[in-house]
């Protein structure tokens, strides 16, 4: 075995010298270096923005979706959607561990794990696409992946179904960051609250804002609104198209008596929702863009254009203890766990 860079730069084919996430192509040969982990992959959880784009391109045809996914991996050596720039994560079983990592990571061959790093930086081989689950963005495959020395992962818990845990861990950064950002008494707006990350954020926002705070859920379409209502975590549920910022602002202020949000969390999986988040947030407040469909150019220039002095945070998918926090949400909230179980198990 040959020792290599802990960040995986040795796997980059083009452009040389870049980190794996930003690379155009990775070496996805499955012979591991001494500081890599080889995993037999069972299921990919594709990022929501990426899967939505692929579905639209394929017209919901599963064979065409499989062809697009296979072409991405064959071309790039990783599942890095060239349109959305996003990936996802996987679950699988550890096959082997490089000699430099043996005894240094809390893992052994045979352990079932979920990757907590993006597929956009993960060398991946898809040998066969077995099943595509349109409603959950999960894809069962036969294949293998490489984790670098710097890669983070979670050993799958015994008390939660594996696909349920996978779905939650895919967006673990969102509820964990929400737990850090929300303060008692805050007015919190969650845009896209009926989705996977949005519903987890609802739980943490309700918990942290407390009885003196106000949590407003915004989504579009009866199915999403019904999921939100079932959870009974929001003080108001708004049916608003977040791609229409002025109308969305009017709906939000009608629900709050004219107040703006201290914190807005954007979990939407489609483009052009930046300005709804910005307009609904007070000067000096914070907008947390967890959505991978966000255009940060549109957000920055749009805020300038309407004279909004708001703090804007990029949705880092990692924060300390994010896996533990997110899985605990499912344990704490029976309604949320039941909803996730109905969708993902």
Q: pLDDT per residue over 155-196, tens digit each?
A: 999 999 988 998 899 899 999 999 999 999 999 999 999 999
Q: Using CA atoms, how far apart are residues 37 and 95, in angstroms rounded to an integer? A: 8
Report residue 37 CA to chain centroid gap.
Answer: 23
Q: Is the pLDDT of residue 276 over 90?
A: yes
C-alpha span between 233 and 175 (Å, rounded): 14
Say if domain 173-344 classifies as CATH 2.60.40.10: no
Percentage of the chain beyond pLDDT 90 is 91
Confidence (pLDDT) at 3: 53
Q: How confident is the model at residue 1 (pLDDT cuts 50, 70, 90)?
A: very low
Q: How confident is the model at residue 315, as a pLDDT?
A: 86
Domain residue spans of the chain: 9-156, 173-344
Mean pLDDT on 228-233: 97
pTM: 0.87
Q: Tell me what the pLDDT averaged over the chain comes to.
A: 95
Contact residues for 318 (Cβ-Cβ < 8 A; gap 6+): 116, 152, 173
The C-alpha angle 230, 236, 240, rounded to 5 degrees, equals 95
β-pair type (311-314, 236-239) = unpaired
Q: What integer pLDDT is reported at residue 292 of this predicted model? A: 84
pLDDT for 207-228, tens place per residue?
Answer: 999 999 999 999 999 999 999 9
Q: What mean pLDDT comes out for the span 241-261?
A: 98
Q: What is the pLDDT of residue 126?
A: 98
Task: Write the burial class of residue 238 (CB in 10 Å: 0-12 exposed, 13-18 middle, 19+ buried).
Answer: buried
Which candidate, 202, 165, 158, places its Cα nearest to that of 182?
Answer: 202
Cα diameter, the chain: 65
Contact 40, 49 (CB under 8 A): no
């Amino acid at each position: 075995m040959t020792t290599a860079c802990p960040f995986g730069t040795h796997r980059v084919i083009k452009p040389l010298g870049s980190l794996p996430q930003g690379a155009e192509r990775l070496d996805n040969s499955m012979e591991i270096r001494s500081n890599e982990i080889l995993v037999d992959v069972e299921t990919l959880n594709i990022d929501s923005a990426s899967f939505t784009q692929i579905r639209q391109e394929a017209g919901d045809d599963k064979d065409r979706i499989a062809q697009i996914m296979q072409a991405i991996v064959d071309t790039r050596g990783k599942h890095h959607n060239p349109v959305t720039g996003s990936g996802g994560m996987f679950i699988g079983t550890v096959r082997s561990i490089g000699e430099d990592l043996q005894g240094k990571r809390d893992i052994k061959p045979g352990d079932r794990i979920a990757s907590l790093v993006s597929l956009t930086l993960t060398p991946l081989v898809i040998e066969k696409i077995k099943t595509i689950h349109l409603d959950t963005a999960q894809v069962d495959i036969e294949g293998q992946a490489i984790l670098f020395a710097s890669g983070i992962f979670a050993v799958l818990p015994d008390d939660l179904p594996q696909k349920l845990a996978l779905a939650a861990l895919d967006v673990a950064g969102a509820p964990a960051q929400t737990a850090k950002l929300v303060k008692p008494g805050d007015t919190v707006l969650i845009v896209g609250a009926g989705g996977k990350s949005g519903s987890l954020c609802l739980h943490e926002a309700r918990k942290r804002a407390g009885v003196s705070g106000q949590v407003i859920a915004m989504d579009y379409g009866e199915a999403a609104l019904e999921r939100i209502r079932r959870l009974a975590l929001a003080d108001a549920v708004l049916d608003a198209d977040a791609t229409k910022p002025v109308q969305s602002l009017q709906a939000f202020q009608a629900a709050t008596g004219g107040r703006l949000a201290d914190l807005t969390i954007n979990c939407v999986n489609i483009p052009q929702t930046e300005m709804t988040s910005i307009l609904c947030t007070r000067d000096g407040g914070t907008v947390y863009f967890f959505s991978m469909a966000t255009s940060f150019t549109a957000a920055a220039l749009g805020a300038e254009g309407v004279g909004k002095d708001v703090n804007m945070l990029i949705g880092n998918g990692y924060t300390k203890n994010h896996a533990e926090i997110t899985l605990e949400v499912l344990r704490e909230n029976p309604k949320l766990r039941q909803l996730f179980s109905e969708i993902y198990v």
